[in-house]
Amino acid sequence: MKKTYKIDVDCAACADKMQDAACRTPGVKDAVVSFMTLKMKVEFEDGADPDAVMQQVLANCKKVERDCEIFF
């Protein structure tokens, strides 16, 4: 399953940090963060609960970039 989320981030380097953090989150098969469009595209692993996984993605992203936001 793939979903797209609106994000708020300050710079392209921060977006790269968010992408790395999202990709390392269990339940995420792949993630792409675009600073230009302020969107995060996430592909979830089979059987993963997107809502629960995205809560963990947000927590992981906040660890590397505390000012970021993901809108569910």
Q: Which residues contact 59 (CB under 8 A, 6 or more apart)?
A: none
Check residue 15 and give its pLDDT.
97
Give me the number of domains the chain comprises.
Answer: 1
CA nearest 30: which of 9, 2, 56, 51? 2
In a domain, residue 71? The reply is no
Check residue 43 and give its pLDDT.
98
15-27 pLDDT, tens digit each = 999 999 999 999 9
Cβ(64)–Cβ(20) below 8 Å: yes
Q: What is the CATH number of the domain that holds 32?
A: 3.30.70.100
What DSSP state is assigned to residue 45?
A: P
In a domain, residue 37? The reply is yes
Check residue 39 and give its pLDDT.
98
31-61 pLDDT, tens digit each = 999 999 999 999 999 999 999 999 999 999 9
CA angle 1, 40, 11 (to 5 degrees): 165
Check residue 57 and give its pLDDT.
98
Q: How far apart are CA 44 and CA 26, in angstroms?
A: 9
In a domain, residue 9? The reply is yes
Give residue 60's domain range: 2-66
**What is the rounded radius of gyration, in angstroms, for the C-alpha atoms of the chain?**
11
- pLDDT-based confidence at residue 3 (cuts at 50, 70, 90): very high
In a domain, residue 72? The reply is no
